[in-house]
Structure 1
Amino acid sequence: MEPLEFIVRAGPHARGACPVWVQLPVPPSPAPTLRLFDDVGNEIPCQSEMSGVSADERLLLAFIVRDLEAHASRRYRLEPGPPIAPVVEDVPPEANSAEAVAGPPDAASVMEVVPAPDAQASVAIPAAEISPVQGEDASTVEAVEDAPDKAVEVPRVPRKKLPGVALTEEPDGELAIDIEGDHFTSYRFSADGQRPYFHPLVGPTGQSVTREFPMTEGIEGETSDHPHHRGMWTAHGDLNGHDNWLEGYGKATIRHSGFSRLVSGPVYGSFDAGSEWIDRWGSIAMTDTRRVTVFNVGPNERLVEYSVRFSASHGQVTMGDTKEAGIVAIRVATSMDGPTKANLDGVGRIETSDGAIGEDEAWGRRASWCDYSGPVAGHVVGVSIMDHPTNPRFPTHWHVRNYGLMTVNPFGLHDFYGDTDAHRGDFIIPPYESRVFRYRILIHRGDVVAGSVRDRYHDFANPPTVELC
């Protein structure tokens, strides 16, 4: 592969730590290792990954653009060199694979590369596909492991401290995700759980921004309501008439069906996981495929990309009109709660993209992002969930409460608007079709202003452009 130069243009928004994806011309096999340099000769960590089906295979380059002012540009040079490559885990061929997920870990942010007037047409890089989860992907690997029949207690071996973002599958139904050697979160999918979830979510101050209960009970000063609120999760309270929001006897469940891709690297770590939505009679009502990407954006924030494809693989799916749902749901640490009847002194702050403040203004309203901030161990931190403009029913409604709950919910319209029509918000997926939703989660220091949430949303919805030199 010949050296390649390109320019990143910020556009009208400042770029503090913005993930950038560039689709490169596919080189002869094997793909070369790559090195990236900025315009003053600094080497920039980068990561490349093959993606796409065999007839449309792509080489995707990822890196982080830092401290680029609005309307500014920066030149980069890409050349073959020693490996700074992702680690894609080998998998046993006999395992059942989850549904493959095509596209980059963040297809919504793949840059449209605009060739300069004198650029060769043969090296023009086309825009990425809109959907990050579709079809079969020849670059992904087969499933790593099915969920066990029951949880097995196995002594843990301390994980090695590795650079970049490292994914490690633990023996008890947990995928640990570390950033620069420090634990960030774990995807927990044990077979005896009601559904997969992430916990903890460790923020930039080293403390979790999610509540410990019910995973750990009896912590002084922590609330113990709503035991089905576990860290960060996906659930729905009316899926074909079955309750997959609450937990317990007679409730529906979500079962982890396997990993189809595990990637660790200097810029991001990412996985694809399959899930089966089981109704209360034990039948599969729906399947989903989740692509989760954790970026290495530096010590002052944490950035997660979450894409999910819901598939009507076993017949028509109706995601019913209910407030008890969240494609992405988070229960924040109790110290971040806003004022409630039980705690009038709560200082947590809810704020949305349209300026709504607090539960009274934000609950059930539409907005492109919602932020929940408050103190954790003496430091103010915040969590934002961002809705992508290509999502169905964008901008989404928010089921967000002063007691610490924040969920993306585009379904619960009769609850939000007080309608008598209890099916106004039903979302139907016809048999054998699927629908894709994608979100970004930003964990930041301070409130919305300190965390530059408005600018960071544009990194997701209106990313910078890339131009070949």
Structure 2
Amino acid sequence: MKYLCLIAISCFVMEAAAQKKWEGFEIVEKPAGKRVDILYNGRLLTAYRYDDSVFKPFLYPVNTVDGITVTRGYPLEPRKGDRSDHPHHVGVWLNYESVNGLDFWNNSTAIEPARRNAYGTILHTAIEAKEAHKDKASLVVRAKWVRPNGQLVLNERTTYKFSVVNNDFIIDRTTTLTADKDSVKFKDVKDGLFAIRVARELEQPSTEKSEYIDEHGNKTEVPALPTSGITGRYTSSNGLTGDSVWSTQGTWVMLQGIKDNKPITIGIFDHPGNPGYPAYWHARGYGLFSVNPLGRAIFSNGKERLNLSLAPGQSTQFRYTLLVSSGKNISPADMEKIAKQVN
């Protein structure tokens, strides 16, 4: 009897320890898979990834606290209904279309080898620090922005802060870019800077011609994609909605829709310390949700210019906060309150 009691007590202790292990955040490095998993209560919220085939570090997938995936699967894990455009739109990322004339934004395996001398690559170099607690976690990483020949252009140090607040998943990214031995110029262009490519259900309804993934996993061209179940709509801090948000300035923008029968809100918040604040929004109905503080000449039709430049050794810093919420209706007033909290 005494032996059975000891076994029962031992099992209870082991079960309690297992439960404690999965309470709150956990960071799991997987070097062989070139990824770092960010878990909450044992469930994957996102992963920091640096796959060779994507040419930049990124977060993928991005899930709500209750397990709904809000990022597009294509090109890594194509899902039925996915658009098959822009293979460089993967998860959540930060890069830019014109850095000393190099295109870091559009680089992908779709670029022909003969044209790759015009494209830059961001190489993950190190995990500097990681820390996980109950409702907060952080990950500090380093990367290099390089030319096709490997020559260094920029050093990057990025801090991700992950948190769960009122059952919402919040990602805060702070990136410091430092010019190496040469001056660096970010020319005013359209494609940049901090972005997420969302799942098909969260796109805005559109009747444009496109390609998508069919039930057999093949790309199928159609004159117009079906709009049934496509529910997304943008709302900006400036009061605009829908397609009108594109190329306007605002301190935050949210994209709202329905996925897996639950209301979803994805919000991006600009921060007052960023260059170009308040930023312009490169928010497209087909699922690209991006904030671009560096494209002033494009978005203002030439009325403004920034052309951010760094001297050798000089740094600039960008900070953006991403909100991923499910199961609740978030109003513009709610977004204003959150903006004050994250700032």
Same fold (TM over 0.5): yes
Counterpart residue number, 1:138: none
Contact kept, 8 Å, 2:237 with 2:332, in 1: the verdict is: no
Counterpart residue number, 1:294: 162
Amino acid at match of 1:290: T
Pairing partner for 1:356 from 240, 248, 258: 240
Q: Helix, strand or coil: the match of 1:258?
A: strand
Counterpart residue number, 2:104: 244
1:154-233 correspondence runs (5 A): 162-170=22-30, 171-217=32-78, 219-233=79-93
Q: Helix, strand or coil: the match of 1:323?
A: coil
Deviation sequence 1:63-119 (CA, Å, 0-9, x none): xxxxxxxxxxxxxxxxxxxxxxxxxxxxxxxxxxxxxxxxxxxxxxxxxxxxxxxxx
Deviation at 1:185, TM superposition (A): 0.3
Pairing partner for 2:185 from 291, 302, 318: 318
Q: Distance in 1 between matches of 2:87 and 2:71?
A: 13
Q: Does 1:457 align with 2:317?
A: no
Deviation at 1:191, TM superposition (A): 3.7
Q: Distance in 2 between matches of 1:277 and 1:344?
A: 39
Q: Distance in 2 between matches of 1:419 and 1:206?
A: 43
Q: Helix, strand or coil: the match of 2:341?
A: helix
Q: Distance in 1 between matches of 2:247 and 2:133?
A: 39
Q: Helix, strand or coil: the match of 1:428?
A: strand
Q: Distance in 2 between matches of 1:380 and 1:220?
A: 21
When residues 349 and 297 of structure 1 are mapped into structure 2, their CA distance, relative to the original with a 3 A threshold, is same
When residues 420 and 459 of structure 1 are mapped into structure 2, their CA distance, relative to the original with a 3 A threshold, is closer
When residues 267 and 458 of structure 1 are mapped into structure 2, their CA distance, relative to the original with a 3 A threshold, is same
Counterpart residue number, 2:283: 400
1:52-71 correspondence runs (5 A): none
When residues 289 and 418 of structure 1 are mapped into structure 2, their CA distance, relative to the original with a 3 A threshold, is same
Q: Does 1:378 align with 2:283?
A: no
Deviation at 1:213, TM superposition (A): 0.7
The answer for unaligned runs of 5 or more in structure 1 is 1-159, 462-469
Contact kept, 8 Å, 2:54 with 2:88, in 1: the verdict is: no
Amino acid at match of 2:147: D
Counterpart residue number, 2:17: none
Q: Distance in 2 between matches of 1:420 and 1:279?
A: 31
Q: Does 1:263 align with 2:145?
A: no
Q: Distance in 1 between matches of 2:65 and 2:240?
A: 26
Amino acid at match of 1:213: Y
Deviation at 1:254, TM superposition (A): 0.4
| Two-structure CA RMSD over aligned residues (Å) | 2.0
Deviation at 1:412, TM superposition (A): 1.4
The answer for unaligned runs of 5 or more in structure 2 is 1-19, 209-223
Q: Does 1:282 align with 2:150?
A: yes
Q: Helix, strand or coil: the match of 2:98?
A: strand
Deviation at 1:207, TM superposition (A): 1.1
When residues 314 and 192 of structure 1 are mapped into structure 2, their CA distance, relative to the original with a 3 A threshold, is farther
Pairing partner for 1:438 from 290, 312, 319: 319
Identity of aligned residues (%): 27
Deviation at 1:281, TM superposition (A): 3.0
Contact kept, 8 Å, 1:161 with 1:182, in 2: the verdict is: no
Counterpart residue number, 1:411: 294
Deviation at 1:354, TM superposition (A): 1.2
Deviation at 1:284, TM superposition (A): 1.0
Contact kept, 8 Å, 2:143 with 2:157, in 1: the verdict is: yes
| TM-score where L is the length of structure 1 | 0.60
Q: Distance in 2 between matches of 1:336 and 1:190?
A: 25
Counterpart residue number, 2:141: 273
Deviation at 1:453, TM superposition (A): 1.9
Contact kept, 8 Å, 1:257 with 1:275, in 2: the verdict is: yes
Kindly report structure 1 stretches of 4+ aligned residues shifted beyond 4 Å. none
Deviation at 1:440, TM superposition (A): 1.2
Pairing partner for 1:428 from 291, 302, 309: 309
Q: Distance in 2 between matches of 1:333 and 1:347?
A: 11
Q: Does 1:307 align with 2:190?
A: no
Q: Helix, strand or coil: the match of 1:169?
A: strand
When residues 281 and 204 of structure 1 are mapped into structure 2, their CA distance, relative to the original with a 3 A threshold, is same
Deviation at 1:319, TM superposition (A): 1.2
Counterpart residue number, 1:448: 330
Amino acid at match of 1:391: N
Counterpart residue number, 1:20: none
Deviation at 1:417, TM superposition (A): 2.2
When residues 355 and 420 of structure 1 are mapped into structure 2, their CA distance, relative to the original with a 3 A threshold, is closer
Deviation at 1:162, TM superposition (A): 2.2
Deviation sequence 1:11-53 (CA, Å, 0-9, x none): xxxxxxxxxxxxxxxxxxxxxxxxxxxxxxxxxxxxxxxxxxx
Q: How many residues end up aligned between the 2 structures?
A: 296
Deviation at 1:420, TM superposition (A): 9.0
Deviation sequence 1:114-168 (CA, Å, 0-9, x none): xxxxxxxxxxxxxxxxxxxxxxxxxxxxxxxxxxxxxxxxxxxxxx952221111
Which structure: greater helix fraction? 2
Q: Helix, strand or coil: the match of 2:240?
A: coil
When residues 274 and 192 of structure 1 are mapped into structure 2, their CA distance, relative to the original with a 3 A threshold, is same
When residues 179 and 242 of structure 1 are mapped into structure 2, their CA distance, relative to the original with a 3 A threshold, is same
Contact kept, 8 Å, 2:267 with 2:323, in 1: the verdict is: yes
Greater mean alpha carbon deviation, residues 447-456 or residues 368-377: 447-456
Deviation at 1:314, TM superposition (A): 2.8
Q: Distance in 1 between matches of 2:268 and 2:104?
A: 22
